[in-house]
Amino acid sequence: MRTEAAFEKSAEDGHEKAYLRIDNLWKNFGEFIALKDITMSVMEGEFICFLGPSGCGKTTLLRAIAGLDLQATGTIEQAGKDISNLPPAERDFGIVFQSYALFPNLTIEKNVAFGLENTGLAKPAITARVKELLELVGLPDQGKKYPAQLSGGQQQRIALARAIATSPGLLLLDEPLSALDAKVRVHLRHEVKELQRKLGITTVMVTHDQEEALSMADRIVVMNHGVIEQIGTPTDIYREPETLFVADFIGEMNQIAANYTPADGEEKPIVTIGNKSFVCAGAAGLRAGPVIAAIRPEDIIPHREDVGPLITEPENCLTLRIDEMEFLGSFWRTRLSGAELGEVELIADFSINAVRRLSMETGKQQVIEIPSNRLKVFAAKKGAA
């Protein structure tokens, strides 16, 4: 996976390294606006995921790139060529759909060869290419079978082989793994990513599965209601969400109504929850007043009662009661409350070792620390008190 530094260098180099550019793209269906002013770039060889809830516009954006649903306004460039109004047949891409879309009456070999037969290649060259592709996706002995004789995971690999048969510059994946069961999906997403790395093909994938996006993408485009909320590496999206929607949509997040006091001179930014004030990460341009404080359950640190002198931020420590403990395999999800937080319930994820070491159990008091750099603040939701 590319590092953040690699992406920064690409950005500094300007648009010259961008393989796919989308500028001011709008798309509507009647009075419904599906895409609103979408502007973004995809670098050559990059694996991008469009991530968001159903109806957010991610599939519409993919279809606009493919020319299957033309945009109302805006431009799309691929490899420096304006493809905004070209029909799909004149665009350089391969596509894999959620339903695989294999021809049930054709053998696997003929399914993979389908796109090659219109390129003018001689029959021996097509046969060699099909053999190469079947070996590439790990199914060299399945060529004589029909799609119905293969498992869902195998059919998806064949759909991938067909999509890349003509060596397109761009690979589009429309929720390609969502129809598979969980174990097959986890295995296949690793194979898809390895195949993409091996080929070096620029890839755009649509998914609503945040784990899928976090594990596969070089960068993630988080979408909501037809707009881009944030673009960033998986680490950036998860650790540094720029909006409350991103913080809420990606992973688990405590969201707490609070009051915010911005930094003033040497004073650090403060967020007050119930009767307790915490140093927080702050937010540029956010005014004093009601906010939503947010912290991920795994960022909350448990301590022994006598750890006081070792704490660097004592103002961010407090003692809460363990109301509930839920065993989730690699960690315990706990629900914490206390008078200082008022009616707020805090969810914290503690490792099995921490629970054992600190003898945690329901009903006991537990000292916790909320690290200031992990305590985020966002503007309060409209209509909130």
How do beta strands 270-273 and 276-279 pair?
antiparallel
> Is residue 201 domain-shared with residue 317, that is, in the same domain?
no
- pLDDT of 11 reads 46
Point out the domain boundary residue: 220, 247, 274. Answer: 247
Which H helix or E strand runs over 276?
Answer: strand 276-279
> Is residue 99 domain-shared with residue 176, that is, in the same domain?
yes
Point out the domain boundary residue: 198, 214, 247. Answer: 247
Residue 305 domain-assigned?
yes
> Is residue 311 domain-shared with residue 228, that is, in the same domain?
no
Task: Give the CB-side neighbour count of residue 150, counting CA atoms within 13 A.
Answer: 26
Query: What residue type is assigned to position 7 of the chain?
Result: F
* Contact between residue 50 and residue 208 where contact means Cβ atoms under 8 Å apart: no
> Is residue 175 domain-shared with residue 272, that is, in the same domain?
no
Task: Please tell me the distance from the alpha carbon of residue 325 to that of residue 298, in angstroms, as a whole number.
Answer: 14
Q: Name the H helices within 114-209.
A: 123-136, 152-164, 182-199
Residue 80 domain-assigned?
yes
Instruction: Report the CATH number at residue 138.
Output: 3.40.50.300
- pLDDT of 310 reads 59
> Is residue 224 domain-shared with residue 119, that is, in the same domain?
yes
> Is residue 328 domain-shared with residue 289, that is, in the same domain?
yes
> Is residue 224 domain-shared with residue 326, that is, in the same domain?
no
Task: Please tell me the distance from the alpha carbon of residue 363 to that of residue 379, in angstroms, as a whole number.
Answer: 34
> Is residue 234 domain-shared with residue 371, that is, in the same domain?
no
Point out the domain boundary residue: 247, 264, 280. Answer: 247
Residue 121 domain-assigned?
yes
- pLDDT of 13 reads 45
> Is residue 375 domain-shared with residue 335, that is, in the same domain?
yes
Which range of residues forms the domain containing residue 63? Answer: 4-247
Would you say how long the chain is, in residues? 385
- pLDDT of 186 reads 87
Nearest Cα to Cα of residue 38 among 19, 49, 25, 21: 25
> Is residue 108 domain-shared with residue 223, that is, in the same domain?
yes
Residue 328 domain-assigned?
yes
Residue 200 domain-assigned?
yes
Q: Distances from the Cα of 338 to the Cαs of 213, 316, 348, 363, in angstroms?
A: 36, 14, 14, 11
For 223, phi then psi, to 5°, come to -120, 150
Residue 385 domain-assigned?
no
- pLDDT of 180 reads 81
CA 112 to chain centre: 30
- pLDDT of 311 reads 64
> Is residue 203 domain-shared with residue 290, that is, in the same domain?
no
How many domains does the chain contain in total?
A: 2
Residue 384 domain-assigned?
no
Tens digit of each residue's pLDDT, the chain (385 residues): 344 444 444 444 444 579 999 999 999 999 999 999 999 999 999 999 999 999 999 999 999 999 999 999 999 999 999 999 999 999 999 999 888 889 999 999 999 999 898 888 899 999 999 999 999 999 999 999 999 999 989 999 999 999 999 999 999 999 988 878 888 888 888 989 999 999 999 999 999 999 999 999 999 999 999 999 999 999 999 999 999 999 999 999 999 999 999 988 878 999 999 999 999 988 888 999 999 999 999 999 999 887 665 566 778 999 999 999 999 999 999 999 999 998 899 999 999 999 999 999 999 999 999 999 999 999 987 644 4
How do beta strands 331-337 and 346-351 pair?
antiparallel
- pLDDT of 382 reads 63
Instruction: Report the CATH number at residue 318.
Output: 2.40.50.100
